[in-house]
A and B are shown apart, each in its own frame.
Chain A
Amino acid sequence: MEIVCIGLSHKTAPVEVREKFAIGDIHLGEVSATLAKMGDLREAVVVSTCNRVEYYAAAEDGAKAIRMLEAFAEERAGQSAGSALFRHRGDDGIRHLFRVASGLDSMVLGETEILGQVKKAYSAAQADGATSRCLNKLFQRAFNVAKEVRTQTCITRGAVSVGSVAVELAEKIFGKLDHCNVMILGAGETAEMTAKSLQSRGAKAIFVSNRTFERAAALAESLGGRAIHFDQWDAEFAEIDILIGSTGAPHAVVPKRKLEPLMALRPDRPLFCIDLAVPRDFEASVNDLDGVYLYDIDSLQENANQGLRVRQTELGRCEQIIDGHVQEFSGWLAAPVPNFSAPRLKA
C-alpha cells in the first residue's frame, strides 16, 4: 500500500485559484467517502482550509491514484490547476502530512490552528467510512508528531506579529486578560487590530478616546466599547490596565509628569502602555515609573521578528523529529499485514 497526496496551498496557488478548489467543512466527509470508493483508492481524507486543499489517499498503485485524485479535484473545481498542484508519493506524502499538521507548512510558521483543522477533516472522513488501517494510523501518527514537535521544540513559541506580541506581553503582566480594561488613544488601524487581539483573549472593556469624537464613537462601536472625549481620558485612567497610543499628535500626549501622579493613585495596579504612534505618544521615560511597562512600535516589531527568527532556527529540529517518524511509519507500512482471520493451530 502506498500513501499519496495531491493539493495546492498558499505556497503554490493564489487565493483566486484556491477558492475554486476549496471544499466546505460540511462536505469534507462526503467527498472523502466518494474518493475512497473510486477505482483503486482504498482510503481517502480531504483537508480544506483557507490556505490549502489537499487530498490524501492510500492505494496499491500510487501513480494511478495521483492521476485519479488530480482528475477528481480538477473536475470538481471546474478548472485545471496546472502548475499550482503539488504531488507527493510514499515517504514524501507522509512527510508532507506531518509537516502540515505540525504547522511547518503554514503561512505563519508554527501556528497551531492547522492541527485542529486536520483533525476535523480526518474525523469527517472517518465518520463517513472513508478511512481504514493505513490512513487511521497515518493521521493518528501525524497528530502525535505535531504534539511532539510542539512540546520538544520552540516552533510555537514567541509571538510573530505586533498584535500577538502585545497580547503575549499583556498575558505575562496580567495573567488572564478577563479582568483587564483597554483604552485606545487615537483611532489608528493598528491600534484597532491590537485591541481586537486583546479582546479575543478576553479583555473586559474597551474605551476609545480621540480628538474627533465621532471617529472615537465609530471605532468604539465596532469594538463594542465606549467612546470618551479626548480631554477626559485621564478621568477614566484609574480603571485602565492597557493603554494603547495611536494618535497623530506631533508631541507626546502621555508625558511622564502626567502619568506619575495618576500611577501614584493606583500603586498596586500595573499599566501596560503600547505605543503604536509615530511620532510617539508616550515619553520614553514613562517606562521608568514603577509598575509601568512601555513598548513602542519598534520594540514590538523587533520582538515579533525575534519570535520569527526563533521559530526559523527551530525548523531543523522539527524536521529531524519528523524524519524519524516518517521512517518509522514507512517501516510499518511496508511490513506484511498480520492475518488475524487465519485459524489458530491447536497445540
Chain B
Amino acid sequence: MERAFLLASTVCFFFGFAYTMYALGARLLRPSRWSLAIMSVGFVFQTGFLHLRGQVVGRCPLTNLFEVLVFLCWAILLLYFVVGGTYRLSLLGAFTAPLVFLLQTVAQLLPSAGLPAEAKPSAGFWPELHAALALIAYGAFALSCVAGVMYLVQERLLKKHRLNSFFHSLPPIADLSIALQRVMLAGFVLLSAGLFSGLMAGLLSFYKATLIVSAFVWAPYGILLVLRWRRTFSPRRFAWMAVGAFVLALSTLGALNYFHISR
C-alpha cells in the first residue's frame, strides 16, 4: 500500500511538471492553478507513504537513504506550500516539481528502496528531532536552489532580450533574490536548530561524524548569508552560489546516512 502511495505521488510530480511546461508552451495563463492542485495531491500521497512507513518502522522514517530522500522531498514540498504562497511565486512549483520528481525517482532506484521495511528501535527524541530538523533545513536549501535557478533563467532572458512566455510568467528578479535569501536564511536557522538539538542531546560523543558533516553544510551557508548581507557580490553570483551550495549539501546526504541514520 505504502509503495502505491509513493508511486502515485511520483506520477503526480511528473504530471505537475509536464502540465506547467505544456501550459507555458501553449501560452495558457495561470498554469499554477492546476500545477498546484496536482502537487497537492502528490503531497497527500507522499504524506500517506511516510505515515504508513513510520508505523511499520516504529519511528520517524529516516532509517535508510531511500527514506531520507523521500522525507527530503516531503520537506521541500511542505516549504514550497508555505513559501510559494508567501512570495506569490506561482512558478516556483513548476521548478520544484522536476526536482522532487528527480529526487524521488532516484530514491526508488536505490538498493535500500527494495528492502522490506522493518521495525527498528527508536534512536530517541533528540536524535530524531535533530535528523528531522536537518532534513527540513535541506528542504529549505533545495527551495533556495530552485529560486536561484529561476533567478538565473529570468536574468538571462532579460540580458538576451527574450521576452517570451517564460519571461512573462517568471517573477521579477528582485523578488526572486529576496525570496532566495529568506528561504536560505530559514534553512540556516533550521539547520542551526538541528545542530543545537544534536549537541544538547549529547550526540557529539556518539555521532561526531554526523555533526561534522552537518557543520560542513552549515558553515558555507552561514558564510554565504554573511557575504550577501554585507553586499559583497551581485545577486546573480549569489544565485549561482545557492545552486552550488545545494549540490554540496545534497552530496553530503549519503555520508549522513552512512554515519548516522543507518545506526
Contacts and interface: CB of A to CB of B under 8 A. Distances in A.
Interface of A: 151-154, 157-158, 165, 168-169, 171-175, 267-268, 270, 287, 290-291, 293, 295, 299, 302-303, 306-307, 310, 314
B65 to A, nearest CB: 38
B172 A175 contact: yes
Contact of B172 (A153, A171, A287, A310): A171
Nearest to A317: B27
A172 B231 CA distance: 21
B172 A268 contact: no
A306 B163 contact: yes
Nearest to B175: A175
Nearest to A292: B159
Given A268-B235, A291-B234, A306-B163, A173 B172 contact: yes
Given A151-B30, A303-B163, A174 B235 contact: no
Contacts of A299: 161
B178 to A, nearest CB: 8
Interface in B17-50: 27-30
Interface centre among A151, A174, A268, A306 (most CB of B within 10 A): A268
Contact of A270 (B27, B165, B173, B232): B173
Interface string B143-176: 0000000000010001101010101101111110
A153 B29 CA distance: 7
B236 A172 contact: no
A303 B157 CA distance: 13
A307 B27 CA distance: 13
Q: Does more than half of chain A's interface fall in helix, strand or loop, or is it mixed?
A: helix
B233 interface: yes
Contacts of A165: 163
Contact of B233 (A154, A267, A270, A310): A267
Nearest to B157: A172
A154 B168 CA distance: 10
Given A171-B172, A173-B173, A173-B174, A268 B29 contact: no
A310 to B, nearest CB: 8
Contacts of A157: 27, 29, 168
B236 A291 contact: yes
Contacts of A152: 28-29
Contacts of B170: 172
A172 B167 contact: yes
Contacts of B171: 175
Given A158-B163, A172-B173, A173-B174, A267 B168 contact: no
Rank and list the top 9 A-B pairs by shortest CB-CB distance, nearest first. A175-B172, A268-B231, A175-B174, A175-B175, A267-B234, A290-B234, A299-B161, A172-B172, A154-B27
A63 B36 CA distance: 51
Contacts of B28: 152
A168 B159 CA distance: 14
A173 B174 CA distance: 6
A344 B132 CA distance: 66
Contacts of B161: 295, 299, 302-303
Interface in B39-93: none
A314 B28 CA distance: 11
A16 B168 CA distance: 39
A174 B172 contact: yes
Contacts of B167: 172
Contacts of B30: 151
Given A169-B158, A172-B172, A174-B174, 13 more contacts: A157-B27, A157-B168, A158-B168, A165-B163, A168-B163, A173-B172, A267-B232, A267-B234, A268-B228, A268-B231, A291-B236, A303-B161, A314-B27
Nearest to A272: B158
Contact of B159 (A175, A268, A287, A302): A287
A52 to B, nearest CB: 27
Nearest to A291: B234
Contacts of B228: 268
Contacts of B235: 268, 270, 291
Nearest to A296: B161
B91 to A, nearest CB: 13
Contacts of B168: 157-158
Contacts of B231: 267-268
Contacts of A310: 27
A169 B167 CA distance: 10
B4 to A, nearest CB: 36
